[in-house]
Structure 1
Amino acid sequence: MLTLRDTPGNPVPPGATLLPVRTEDGIELRAAHWRPTTRTVRGTVCLLQGRAEFIEKYYETIADLRGRGFAVVAFDWRGQGESARLVADAHCGHVGRFDEYRLDLKAIEDAVLRPLMPHPHLCLAHSMGGAVALTGAIEGWLPFRRIVSVAPMLGLTMVRWPRLSSAVVRFLQQLGLGQRYILFGSAVSIATKPFGRNRLSGDPVRYARNAEAARTVGAGAVGDPSIAWAAEAFRTMERLRDLRLAAAIKIPTLIVAAGADPVCSTRATERFGARMRVGDVIVLAGARHEILSESDAIREPFWAAFDAFMPGTPVADAPAPMSPAQSA
């Protein structure tokens, strides 16, 4: 049975509607949506998670968006969170091809966004989700009027030799090992590793909150990716290095990069953003990879940029939530 899990420091945002969504190729996704907590409705923001993330990790962001007058749609990509797995090991983050994420988003569009949610439809995409969103914008199938992409996966700083790593995972994939963990990979979620040397956030309170959420969802917070996922990630990033593609994006796009990102390449993000014709890129100094889980000193300029970019007028006096969370 589908559920949304909570912890004392990370309660489910009130008013949730939880539902299963089936994709064209038969994969069941976990999805949820919320109405805004303001009288004025500015549209709907769909959250596109990064790799190994899950709905529970976005509760604070969901509350932030609802207080700004937005309805919110959140879902788990296939192979992570509480959505269906494609391999026997539920801890292994796996897809065979990144095109499968397009099927996930199409299913969310057909089952949730178009029939249920107020316009305009907008997206807030993180890391891998940012790479998916930018690819969809380039190819013309992304169902959103505006994009905010946070620390998009356009290059990796955590991989010392990316060209060699790309060649190795492609070779292993050709040997039929695509469903196995990457070399030296394990089932341990990156979100549960000790704070002192973490790559995700400089805020110890938010990091601890997310770690507890990851422990609560168990296998939902997947460990390392599969060889096939890694091979596809390298292919996607290599394609997005063609900066002519950035100029082809017609959807207004704001890219927010993390200035001290030890996961994704800020330099690659700046190069891509500089070539966009209907967008801009800003860099938040000192931020690690998960800007939305950073300190208030970093989150506040992020939300200021978000408010200036998104349509409508932010509502500062949002009323308090009125009812407990509901789930289907």
Structure 2
Amino acid sequence: MNFVSIPGNPCPDGAATGMIQTPDGVTLRFARWASPDDGKEEVKGTVCVFTGRSEFIEKYFETVRDLQQRGFAVTVLDWRGQGHSSRQLPDPRKGHVANFRDFEIDVETFMRLVVLPDCPPPYFALAHSMGGAVMLRAAHSGRRWFERMVLAAPLIDLPQPRASWPLRILMRILRLVGFGNSYVPGSNVDRARASGFPGNPLTTDPGRYARNAALLAQDPALGIGSPTVAWLDAAFDTMVEFDAADYPMRIVAPVLMVAAGTDRIVSEAAIEQFAARLPAGSYLAIEGARHEILQEADLYRAQFWAAFDAFVPGAPMRTAPEGPPRASI
């Protein structure tokens, strides 16, 4: 399967890609890249990249190169309903899932069929937004594939008033009366109301914003529109679970949670509070950054990668902090 590769976003050399099928019949697209140090005695391991809602493999080519430069093998997954994986409804624009447990099936299949047989250990997870929520769910359920996890702007809760209980109740009612497959009322169904770069909540970097828009212009089938009622209802269920006092205590892997200081998509406060309750949790806020930290300006990305390098074994300039950092940059 060919990737969408544009001059401003070339596919890293040596990509191996394919399709795998989950036990419930969903076809998932994946890609993997070997470490530049492949074949040497000291292998740093593999970083598994898990994207956010509506994202796709091509959007993370720059991240793949960043990780390869650090000596890691890299592999990336298109979630069900996204990228070039199977869509869940006849209308391919709808971002839909019935339950976030379905994403855990994707991870289980990906690990069993791609990562464990074909990628060098140890394994580390790098996840963004919705992908971060799925990683926490998987770790909570006892999956211990990853030595460490780095979560960029993970979906722990939504900012007020988007996280309000009236909205949560409305989504549940709409789903119960048969509107689960419908778009969330009032949402930007076909992205027609996108205003372009000025005022966007994702990144302060105009070049990377334009690059990502160009990928979708080249292959519109990569993108999706707004979430369905069922997706948002399932997301609210996960947020309620995260809020339970004992939920983080079952996550034993070390986790670095990096928040964007001006995030308007997810709640920075909820990320900090969740990290504080983890047995091996670290927290960092990058002031001035917007939601998509890995797609941000170099000023903010440099701060993210410095934290990654200090936290992930085998990365450059690794330090050994005495305790979990909780300061903001």
Q: Same fold per TM (> 0.5)?
A: yes
Structure 1 residue 160 displacement after superposition: 3.6
Runs of 4+ in 1 over 3 A off after TM superposition: 158-161, 189-193
User: Which residue does 2:197 correspond to in 1?
Assistant: 195
Superposed, 1:42-191 pairs within 5 Å as 42-157=44-159, 159-160=161-162, 162-189=164-191
The partner residue of 1:207 within 209, 219, 227 is 209
Structure 1 residue 159 displacement after superposition: 4.7
Q: In 2, distance between residues paired with 1:89 and 1:157?
A: 29
Q: In 2, distance between residues paired with 1:189 and 1:42?
A: 40
Amino acid at match of 1:19: G
1:10-32: CA deviation from partner (whole Å, max 9, x where unpaired):
11111100110110111100101
Structure 1 residue 242 displacement after superposition: 1.7
User: Which residue does 1:33 correspond to in 2?
Assistant: 32
| Distance verdict in 2 for CA 1:26–1:35, change over 3 Å | same
Amino acid at match of 2:34: R
Q: Does structure 2 conserve the Cα–Cα contact (< 8 Å) formed by 1:34 and 1:71?
A: yes
User: Which residue does 1:7 correspond to in 2?
Assistant: 6
Amino acid at match of 2:114: V
Structure 1 residue 250 displacement after superposition: 0.4
% identity of equivalent residues: 43
Q: In 1, distance between residues paired with 2:165 and 2:64?
A: 37
| Distance verdict in 2 for CA 1:45–1:65, change over 3 Å | same
User: Which residue does 1:284 correspond to in 2?
Assistant: 286
1:274-297: CA deviation from partner (whole Å, max 9, x where unpaired):
111212111000110000011111
Root-mean-square deviation (Å): 1.8
Amino acid at match of 2:27: E
Q: Does structure 2 conserve the Cα–Cα contact (< 8 Å) formed by 1:86 and 1:95?
A: yes
1:230-255: CA deviation from partner (whole Å, max 9, x where unpaired):
00001101110123212331001100
Counterpart of 1:85 in 2: which secondary structure?
A: coil
Amino acid at match of 1:77: W
Structure 1 residue 139 displacement after superposition: 1.6
Greater RCO structure (CA 8 Å; 6+ sep): 1
Structure 1 residue 178 displacement after superposition: 0.8
User: Which residue does 1:17 correspond to in 2?
Assistant: 16
| Distance verdict in 2 for CA 1:308–1:108, change over 3 Å | same
Structure 1 residue 270 displacement after superposition: 0.5
Give unmatched runs, 5+ long, in structure 1.
316-328
Structure 1 residue 211 displacement after superposition: 1.3
| Distance verdict in 2 for CA 1:156–1:97, change over 3 Å | same
Structure 1 residue 97 displacement after superposition: 1.1
Q: Does structure 2 conserve the Cα–Cα contact (< 8 Å) formed by 1:192 and 1:214?
A: no
Q: Does structure 2 conserve the Cα–Cα contact (< 8 Å) formed by 1:158 and 1:262?
A: no
Give unmatched runs, 5+ long, in structure 2.
318-329
Q: Does structure 2 conserve the Cα–Cα contact (< 8 Å) formed by 1:192 and 1:211?
A: no
Q: In 2, distance between residues paired with 1:76 and 1:190?
A: 24
Higher mean C-alpha deviation, range 38-47 or range 206-215 = 38-47
Counterpart of 1:195 in 2: which secondary structure?
A: coil
Q: Does structure 2 conserve the Cα–Cα contact (< 8 Å) formed by 1:138 and 1:245?
A: yes
Q: In 1, distance between residues paired with 2:195 and 2:65?
A: 26
User: Which residue does 2:270 correspond to in 1?
Assistant: 268
